[in-house]
Amino acid sequence: MTLSRRALLGAAACSTLLPRPLRAATGARLKIGLLLPYSGTYAALGHNITDAMKLAAAEHGSKLGGREVEWVAVDDESDPAKAPANVNKLIAGEKVDILTGPVHSGVAMAMMQIVRQENVLTIVTNAGAQAVTGTLCAPHVFRTSFSNWQVSYPCADVMLTAGHKRAVLMFWNYSFGQESMAAFKEGYSKGGGTVVKEIAVPFPNTEFQANLSEIAALKPDAVFVFFAGAGAAKFVKDYADAGLKDKVPLYGSGFLTEGVLAAQGAAAEGIKTTLHYADALDNAANKKFRESFKKATGRDADVYAVAGYDTVNVLAQALGKVKGDTGAGKELIAALEATRLDSPRGPFRFSKAHNPVQDVYLRQVKGGKEVVLGVAMKDAEDPAAGCKMGK
Amino acid sequence: MTRRILLLAGALALGVVAFSGDRFWLQFLGKAMIGCILAMSLDLLVGFTGLVSLAHSAFFGLAAYALAGVTNRLGLVNPLLTFPVCLLAAAAAALIIGWLSLRATGVYFIMVTLAFTQMLFYLFNDSPALGGSDGLYVAERPVDSRAAAYVAIWAALVLAYLLLARILRAPYGRALEGIRVNEQRMRSLGYPTRRYKLVAFVIAGTLAGVAGYLDATLYGFVNPAQLGWRQSGLILVTVLLGGKGTLYGPALGALLLAFIEHYGERVTEHWNALIAALVIAVVLFLPRGLAGLVQGGRRA
Amino acid sequence: MPEPLLLTETLTRRFDALAAVDGVSLAFEEGRVHAVIGPNGAGKSTFLNLLSGELRATQGRVRFRGLDVTRATPDELSRLGIGRSYQTANLFPELSCADCAWLAAQSRLPSSMRFFRPAERYAEVGDRAARALEVCGLSGRRPTRAGQLSYGEQRQLEIAMMLATEPTLLLLDEPLAGLGHDEALRVVALLTEVARGRTVILVEHDMEAVFSISDTVTVLVDGRVLERGSPDQVRNSAAVREAYLGEEIA
Amino acid sequence: MSLSLFALQLINGVEYGLLLFLVASGLTLVFGVLGVLNFAHGSFYMLGAYLAWWLSERTGNLLLAILVGLPAMALIGLLVERLAIARLYLRDHLSQVLLTYGLVLLFNELQRALWGNDVHGVATPKSLAFTIPLGEAQTWPAWRAFTALCCIAVAVGMQQLILKTRFGMRVRAGASNAEMVEALGIDVRRVFSVVFSAGTALAGLAGMLAAPLTTVYPGMGESVLILSFVVVVIGGIGSIKGAFLGAMLVGIADTFGKVLLPGFASAMVYAVMAAVLLWRPRGLLGPAFEGR
């Protein structure tokens, strides 16, 4: 009897879907827990999300549903080994009313198991693991960032319409990379594209020369990759140095350039990516947000900050309806499900599985800047495989 | 004598918490005690046999993964069944890795153990079937209530200490100490020293397996990050900080680090610098570690 | 001639080109004190290390009670009853004399893999250790750390530890090296008493001390046997005098 | 795998090996001569990279940044040796591991405090911004060629210095028997200070040369630390030639491992090390004794 990993997670999920009341709303102050990385390679993301959340709260007079906000931050160091202890520190130790975070998907999986048993209202502000709003979906768990599917699936169509029929896939071999590739292949094979080769690179190894030589020899129409942060910066530079930049067009989800565009410099010129946000989106909410974020922190806002900003705005709207009563269970969840936001990323609402329904944009690097070429997928909704809520 | 009283008092204090019902302290101290078991069992190797192993977290992780595997795939939940199976897995791994690693000595031994723990890390981290980098849930934990898990951990800690203290006072323990001081001389006195070191390696590895089993029971979540060399390095630092060769010293070190990590964050975002300062201070001014503060830190 | 206790057949040990021990074939009768002498670099210590398993022979055989022990490890040889002492102090510096003797005595238990009964409870081990210290005159120094003993006392502890393993064959590596006159006398007296009823192979540089307690003397030069016989035969042998005197004059 | 691809992969492997050697050379020198197990070696690599980025931003030219950065790293090495490492020479390996572990944490916090958490790119100097064609499909950036040449120069330089010069002779003597050297009236402390400072500078140089390739980010020293230990141990502690051999072995094994056995690639390097140590427990060219 071999249970696939997904089924096993599902089994664990059903056993805890009991309709227990949410943690009662006690005390005037609204305690919001931040499970984010403040040290290590993802520290920059942790700080951006936190600062954007505080900015949004300030715009609401630092009161949500009439209650003064108290932030409780814990540095998760993106270390899954410490995740259970850190989550315990926030839920059982600090007794936060609402838990938000994390960035790393391994930490998210640990958090999900505890949160679904402790029944604490949780908003995932970055980790794109499918299971969060898939096999592990739960009434009191929402996500304001994205699912790995959303940022990769649309890129398949983009490449096919550009006439790239033969593609090589290269990705960091951990869950984020694997899920991105699965989503891309779903779209690409459906559209008649053929995957010449899948190159899985051990995470966090950044020695790409061997694989770049392979790609050069295979001469595919295009390459779709998943890398992020410093690894993405290095990959793009190595890709250009290997002379592939002008011969084989490079595609990826937005994380290939997000936050490391400056570090990549000219090497990133021409790269097309799909993401639910772009710095250059010209809508009023985005302009206002970027200005106030720049004023508040001196740094430019990015996709991670947007998720933080929207999280607090969603809470402000929902808690307003229930007058700040986090113990309001059904009413609060219904209020959250009903929220509509005019977010910097564009129109924002929750799907039945509590994942954002949002436009995914096609962007290209021109002159060192992200230019929005158009909408790659309108109102993209994660298939939420394995989630029975609302179906 | 005061050391024995201190130990008793410490054990009772930790024991009382079991009845406090405070969900946070049960899990926080539960995790800290698991750290104590890991540090003490590694001290058997580092402090008493002179073997610096970086494979300790591999046995911890292996037992945790064994529990996840046995429970999820075979549906076994009863601890009387799963506990021995997981321990056997850790012990078998310790026997194989030990037998191979002990062919090298000194820093080379350290690096061979590091190699094995990294290989095991990648085995679990890179294969989706074993949970990949996200890790696995334990579908049904052997002990469901947090208080019961706490009591089990507490009992394991007390038994581990008594067992190790007992072994170290027995002829086998004397032989280990001789091997630590001058292995070549022990060989010429008739001791097959590699076999003694292998037995110590398996005992320590099995106790690390106990800690891994209890960790998976406490949290119901296993992740490859628990296996890497960084975790082994942390256990080694705990042993050295607490005071190697005293058994209770490493346990002190584990408790202290747990509290610093918990409260350090309140003091400053750069809480790692606090730990750095403590580590450097201990090395320079307390050569025998924290145990040096307690009544001269006599041998166990 | 009774069967020799220990036999070497063309025993050789090469360090790259240099043959430190070159084809040595010797027979050592049981119950006798056999001295092996020779100038510096004659291969005496290498020869002893080959017998005690610390070094592996490049060629040749070693037989103990007829058993081929050429490739035996030091611990196997010790368990067969071959005890050895070291020229440079090779003790447990941090442990007390009592503990050092204890470890040696404990090695005679069928196996030290005993995990539960506290070591002190093994009375026979305690007695054996005490006796060895007593014979070697170290009863008064039990609690002192081995590292803090005087040079002569460390040599006595070496011999006590060897005795505590109750060997039938003693391999002594220059037990008198570096000792003052009266310390040497004390050690020689101790060796005479210890040798009674046992077989001894004594490697020594000091010819005079050896002659008084040896039954046979073998002279090694450049890894080969130059002369072998009773102490008087060797003392009067022209070849030996020339080998030694030649060495001292040059 | 066609012949041309094999040749390309070989170049990739050797090039990666050369950079690994540069990092490992400092480590094997410090460990072989001073007998100090220096976990902070990875931090010096990181500091070197950050210095190269920070100085090249100020001066606009990476080569100038390296010229200024190298002596700075040597100075940092000297300071660390005088203030912390010097107290450990007679202590056991474990105290050294613990102290240098503390230094790693300290350097990580220092880096975060000074330069924050963002990823920074480092531009290669204009004079070396061109690429060399390798076969028809691929090109090789001049900066990588320059780095490879630097590594070779360092390798040859170290070999000559250690074997041929008086200072080299003192270094070797210090490695085999420091007490004896001191007894002969040579100030061993000065030899150790210079060696540790040189080791730090080598790690820093590796960081500076790699900065344009790897970009600069928090925690970048850690992966390099483990790989340099693997290289040093495979080659045999204290042996420069061994470190070179080990670096080549690891560089090539990792490169071909990624292509031929993708699933096993990450464990490959460790499997190679375990195999070498089980075959020769002192490393390929390890001295008979274990360093000091």
Last residue in a domain, options C114, C143, C166 = C166
Q: Is residue D127 part of a domain?
A: no
- Model confidence band, residue D292 (pLDDT cutoffs 50, 70, 90): very low
Residue A9 to residues A6, A147, B224, B225, Cα–Cα distance (Å): 5, 17, 17, 19
Dist. CA B205–CA B182, nearest whole Å: 24
Strand pairing category for C169-173 and C82-85 = parallel
pLDDT at position D267: 87
Number of domains in chain C: 2
Q: Which other chains touch chain A, taking contact as 3+ CB pairs less than 8 Å apart?
A: B, D
Q: Is residue D289 part of a domain?
A: no
Interval C166-187 mean pLDDT: 87
Residue B151 to residues A222, B14, B60, B155, B250, Cα–Cα distance (Å): 58, 10, 19, 6, 21
- Residues of A within an 8 Å Cβ radius of D: 39-41, 43-44, 47, 199-202, 204-207, 209-214, 216-217, 219, 229-230, 233-234, 237-238, 241-244, 247, 259-260, 262-265
**Candidates D53, D215, D227, partner chain A, best to mutate (most A CBs within 10 A):** D215
Tally of CB atoms within 10 A around B184: 12
CB distance from B181 to chain D under 8 Å?
no
Which neighbouring-strand residues pair with C12? C59
Which neighbouring-strand residues pair with C64? C6, C67
Q: Is residue D190 part of a domain?
A: yes
Tokens 């160091």 belong to residue: A77
Cβ D108–B284 below 8 Å, yes or no?
Answer: no
Listed by start position, the domains of chain A span 5-146+285-357, 149-275
pLDDT at D59 over 90: no
pLDDT at B298 over 50: no
Do A346 and A360 touch, CB atoms closer than 8 A?
no
> Quick one: tokens of A278?
């772009």
> Of residues B179 and D89, which shows the higher confidence score?
B179
pLDDT at A14 over 50: no
CATH number of the domain to which D69 belongs: 1.10.3470
Number of domains in chain D: 1
List pLDDT tens digits, range A129-138: 999 999 999 9
pLDDT at position C150: 87
Q: Are residues C235 and C138 in the same domain?
A: no
Which range (A337-346, D132-141, D209-218) has the least confidence? D132-141
Q: Are residues C214 and C177 in the same domain?
A: yes
CB distance from D119 to chain A under 8 Å?
yes
Tally of CB atoms within 10 A around D292: 18
Dist. CA C60–CA C24, nearest whole Å: 8
Helices assigned H by DSSP within C81-136: 97-106, 123-135
Cis peptide preceding C175, ω within 30 of 0: no
Q: Is residue D60 part of a domain?
A: yes
Strand pairing category for A250-253 and A340-343 = unpaired
List pLDDT tens digits, range D72-87: 999 999 999 999 888 8
- Model confidence band, residue A151 (pLDDT cutoffs 50, 70, 90): very high
Strand pairing category for A141-143 and A121-124 = parallel
Superfamily grouping for domain A149-275: Response regulator (3.40.50.2300)
Q: Are residues C35 and C97 in the same domain?
A: no
Residue B86 to residues B60, B120, B292, Cα–Cα distance (Å): 10, 16, 36
pLDDT at A25 over 60: no
pLDDT at D156 over 50: yes
Start-to-end Cα distance in chain A: 28
- Model confidence band, residue D289 (pLDDT cutoffs 50, 70, 90): very low
pLDDT at position A7: 42
Q: What count of residues does chain C have?
A: 250
Strand pairing category for A63-64 and A67-75 = antiparallel
Q: Which residues contact D222 (CB under 8 A, 6 or more apart)?
A: D42
Cβ A83–B221 below 8 Å, yes or no?
Answer: yes
List pLDDT tens digits, range C3-34: 789 999 999 999 888 888 999 999 999 999 99
Listed by start position, the domains of chain B span 2-297
- Model confidence band, residue A2 (pLDDT cutoffs 50, 70, 90): very low
Interval B227-241 mean pLDDT: 91
Percent of chain A with pLDDT over 70: 93
D262 → chain B, closest CA residue:
B126
pLDDT at B26 over 60: yes
Dihedral over Cα of B8, B11, B15, B20: its sign: positive
Cβ A47–D117 below 8 Å, yes or no?
Answer: yes
Dist. CA A170–CA A194, nearest whole Å: 14
Complex confidence, ipTM:
0.86
Determine phi and psi for A104, rounding to 5 degrees: -75, 135
Mapped onto helix, strand or coil, the DSSP state of residue A333 is helix
pLDDT at C130 over 50: yes
Model-level pTM? 0.89
Last residue in a domain, options C145, C166, C187 = C166
Cβ B135–A109 below 8 Å, yes or no?
Answer: yes
- Model confidence band, residue A54 (pLDDT cutoffs 50, 70, 90): very high
B228 → chain A, closest CA residue:
A81
Strand pairing category for A166-172 and A194-201 = parallel
For residue B48, the 8-state DSSP code is T
> How many beta-carbon pairs below 8 A join chains B and C?
89
Chain B contact set for A96 (CB, 8 A): none
Tokens 């009563």 belong to residue: A325
Q: What count of residues does chain B have?
A: 300
pLDDT at position B172: 95
Dist. CA C183–CA C210, nearest whole Å: 15
B72 → chain A, closest CA residue:
A8
What is the domain extent for residue D248? 3-117+138-279
Strand pairing category for D138-141 and D131-134 = antiparallel
Q: Are residues C156 and C103 in the same domain?
A: yes
Determine phi and psi for A206, rounding to 5 degrees: -125, 25
- Model confidence band, residue B4 (pLDDT cutoffs 50, 70, 90): confident
Mapped onto helix, strand or coil, the DSSP state of residue C235 is helix
CA distance A1 to chain B (A): 7
Cβ A39–D120 below 8 Å, yes or no?
Answer: no
CB distance from D113 to chain B under 8 Å?
yes
Q: Which residues contact B265 (CB under 8 A, 6 or more apart)?
A: A73, A74, A75, B271
Q: What is the DSSP string of A102-143?
A: -SSHHHHHHHHHHHHHHT-EEEE-S---GGGGTTT--TTEEE
List pLDDT tens digits, range C41-53: 888 889 999 999 9
Cβ C75–B187 below 8 Å, yes or no?
Answer: yes
Last residue in a domain, options C166, C184, C208 = C166
Q: Candidates 3.90.1150.50, 3.40.50.2300, 3.40.50.720, 3.60.10.10; correct CATH number of A5-146+285-357?
A: 3.40.50.2300
Report the alpha-carbon angle C191-C194-C195, nearest 5.
85
Dist. CA A335–CA A332, nearest whole Å: 5
Cβ D278–B104 below 8 Å, yes or no?
Answer: yes
Q: Are residues C144 and C178 in the same domain?
A: no
- Spell out the CATH class of B2-297: mainly alpha
Determine phi and psi for C73, rounding to 5 degrees: -85, 160
- Model confidence band, residue D137 (pLDDT cutoffs 50, 70, 90): confident
The average confidence (pLDDT) of chain B is 91
- Model confidence band, residue A220 (pLDDT cutoffs 50, 70, 90): very high
Amino acid at D158: M
Chain B contact set for A8 (CB, 8 A): 72, 136-137, 139
The average confidence (pLDDT) of chain A is 88
Dist. CA B284–CA B297, nearest whole Å: 17
pLDDT at position A15: 39
- The gap from C-alpha D134 to its chain's centroid, in whole angstroms, comes to 27
Burial class (CB in 10 A: 0-12, 13-18, 19+), B225: buried
What is the domain extent for residue C114? 90-166
Q: Residue B7: which of B255, B212, B261 has the closest Cα?
A: B255
Dist. CA C190–CA C104, nearest whole Å: 19
pLDDT at C248 over 70: no
Dist. CA C83–CA B75, nearest whole Å: 57
Which neighbouring-strand residues pair with A223? A168, A250
Q: What is the DSSP string of D63-122?
A: HHHHHHHHHHHHHHHHHHHHHTGGGGTTS-HHHHHHHHHHHHHHHHHHHHHHH-S--B--
Chain A contact set for B132 (CB, 8 A): 5, 174-175, 178
